[in-house]
Amino acid sequence: MSEPILEAVGLRKRFGAVVACDDISVAFGAGELVGVVGPNGAGKTTFVNVVTGYVTPDAGHIRYRGREHDALTPRGAVALGIARSFQHPQLYASLSVLENALIALAVKRKEHASWQPLKRKWALDEGHALLERFALDEVANTEVSQLPEGRRKVLDIALSFALEPSVLLLDEPTSGVSAREKFALMDTVTGVLAQTEMTVLFIEHDMEIVERYAHRVLAFVEGRIIADGRSADVLADARVRELVLGIAEGA
Ligand SMILES: Nc1ncnc2c1ncn2[C@@H]1O[C@H](COP(=O)(O)OP(=O)(O)O)[C@@H](O)[C@H]1O
Ligand SMILES: [Mg+2]
């Protein structure tokens, strides 16, 4: 890897008796597309929360473009260029898809005004262009509460993308999405991301998705990374098969 863009150095986080993050050190280069796998409770979301400033680590720090950050806030992370999406999309449900896009774009421009004055032609054009990239323009005027879950997830990802981060972390982009829609969702998202140098991590439980889209895979178990490498190698690893995939050896 050339100079890493993002590094986690000795991250630890405990919740009571649970060690959610147990001395995690890992580095990511520009443009990497990394799948994050592991059983429920393995610490995947906690890792994303620490990297994006939603959880303060007990020890360790983040290094971003070579600089140390040990007290990141969510806003601070976005300002650096680290954005995320959530397992459950954080959207304005009673507003339209386009209005959600206009708000995200205003946040990107650091305009915290209400969105009404933002309905100027150039702002609308920018909103539609964003939606077009993510194949959402046909539902631009649909209220978000009326969208199927797959579309809501894509919109949430599009809105984090609109912040123009260098690192984007996606927490279970395909959870709650029908098997039929999952591949289309990932085709759309990875198609857009491939045109950028963004480093992308995505937490995923569906190994067909991981195998198809991730170039590198991290496997988390009990707060630790037990395997990190090329997707095919990690998915074939005996401990990953046992502890993550639940496949007994010899089966
Ligand atoms: N805010 C929190 N308060 C208490 N326990 C938490 C909190 N966040 C996570 N945990 C615990 O930390 C462990 C790791 O959780 P999480 O990071 O959500 O795992 P994953 O995303 O891999 O399913 C779990 O045992 C979970 O219950
Ligand atoms: Mg999780």
**pLDDT tens across 56-70, in order?**
999 999 999 999 998
Place of tokens 């986080």: 13
Query: Going by C-beta distance under 8 Å and a sequence separation of 6 or more, which residues neighbour residue 113?
Result: 106
Confidence of residue 184 (pLDDT cuts 50, 70, 90): very high
Summarised one tens digit per residue, pLDDT across range 123-159 is 899 999 999 999 999 999 999 999 998 999 999 999 9
User: From the alpha carbon of 42, which atom of ligand 1 is closest?
Assistant: 22
- Cβ(223) – ligand 1 distance below 6 Å: no
Nearest-atom number in ligand 1 for the CA of 13 is: 12
Structure token pair of residue 95: 């507003």
Please tell me the predicted confidence (pLDDT) of residue 42. Answer: 97
Domains and CATH numbers, the chain: 6-243 (3.40.50.300)
pLDDT classification of 24: cutoffs 50, 70, 90: very high
Nearest CA, atom 3, ligand 1? 15
Closest residue by Cα to atom 20, ligand 1, is: 41
Which residue in 166, 164, 211 sits closest to 186, CA to CA? Answer: 211
Residue 92 near ligand 1, beta carbon < 6 Å? no
Ligand 1 contacts CB of residue 45 (under 6 A): yes
Residue 18 in contact with ligand 1 by CB distance below 6 A: yes
pTM metric for this prediction: 0.93
Distance from the alpha carbon of residue 27 to the mean position of ligand 2, in angstroms: 20
Check pocket membership of 43 for ligand 1, CB cut-off 6 A: yes
d(CA 124, CA 127): 5
Asked if the model's pLDDT at residue 106 lies above 60, the reply is yes
Does residue 60 line the site of ligand 1, with CB under 6 A? no
CA dist 132 → 73, 154, 192 (Å): 31, 12, 10
| pLDDT for residue 228 | 98
Q: Give CA–CA dist 185/204, Å, rounded.
A: 13
